[in-house]
Amino acid sequence: MILQDKVAIVTGSSRGIGAAIAEKLASAGASVIVNYSSSASHAEQVVSNITSAGGKAIAVKASVNSEDDIKMLFEVAEKEFSTTADILVNNAGITRDNLLIRMKNEEFDDVIDTNVRSVFLSTRLAAIQMMKKRYGKIINISSIVGFSGNPGQFNYVASKAALTGMTKSAALELASRGIRVNAIAPGFIETDMTAGLKDEFKDEYKKKIPLKSFGTANDIAEAALYLASPVSDYITGQTLHINGGLYL
């Protein structure tokens, strides 16, 4: 129970990678805010999985596109668990894929708003609270394509590349206050986000991945637990790549 008495907020944890991270942190003793924007039943299922295993969690509907909603997330965490957040996982993310020459302004803006501006808003709030505790862990979920680029994802790649710089800047600013800021860059992971990819595309990619398979949400959750726990206290400003060797 390495996260006993810690409070964690995991954005976008009703499904996929966020859900796996919420369950993993809870299994290590953290009290977890399971955040969602529309998938209420999925979020309740995640909470039920956690509580039936003896953990503590509540589901909170909040859009990371809204500053008021993000403030409310932090307020609920403090009220429900009697202390401010010790761990923030900025996981909520969307894609709005299109070729560059066809990409609409809204497709670009929506992705930047959800994947980047939200991380600015939540990290600023977390930093203010964690500075008072002189300890905290912030984990940003980036992507392999933020490093490699990807056709059809100009907006999404921009958002994930931004997280690399934001992670390093926050790490440098907050290190003296005991706050560690790191990122995880997943490769192809089996979730709803990749479920819609054509089978031919998936098969082609699996051939290119040295470990010959897509990863699981649990592969990412194990890394998140490591970065959230004191065993990684000497690590800050880093991005951990988890991609089966696809990008080295």
Residues binding ligand NAP (CB under 6 A): 11-18, 35-39, 63-65, 91-94, 114, 141, 143, 186, 188-189, 191-194
Catalytic residue among 156, 205, 226, 247: 156
Q: 31 vs 143, which CB is nearer to ligand NAP?
A: 143
Least spacing, CB of residue 221 vs ligand NAP, in Å: 10
Among 82, 127, 83, 87, CA closest to 229:
87
Q: 131 vs 242, which CB is nearer to ligand NAP?
A: 242
Q: Which residues pair with 215 in a beta bridge?
A: 189
Q: 177 vs 202, which CB is nearer to ligand NAP?
A: 202
Q: 150 vs 177, which CB is nearer to ligand NAP?
A: 150
Cα dist from 236 to 65, 100, 177, 189, 222, whole Å: 26, 34, 12, 24, 17
Least spacing, CB of residue 177 vs ligand NAP, in Å: 26
Least spacing, CB of residue 92 vs ligand NAP, in Å: 4
Least spacing, CB of residue 141 vs ligand NAP, in Å: 4
Task: Phi first, then psi: give them for residue 214, nearest 5 degrees.
Answer: -75, 160
Query: Given phi > 0 = left and psi -120 to 50 = alpha, else beta, which region is 114?
Result: alpha
Q: Which residues pair with 33 in a beta bridge?
A: 9, 58
Q: Active site includes 156?
A: yes
**Per-residue b or e along 205-229, where b marks 16 or more CB atoms closer than 10 Å to that residue's CB:** beeebeeeebbebebbbebbbbbbb
Least spacing, CB of residue 184 vs ligand NAP, in Å: 8
Q: 37 vs 229, which CB is nearer to ligand NAP?
A: 37
Which tokens is 7 given?
Answer: 């409070």
Q: 84 vs 114, which CB is nearer to ligand NAP?
A: 114
Complete DSSP assignment for 213-227: S-B-HHHHHHHHHHH
Least spacing, CB of residue 156 vs ligand NAP, in Å: 7
Residues forming the active site? 156
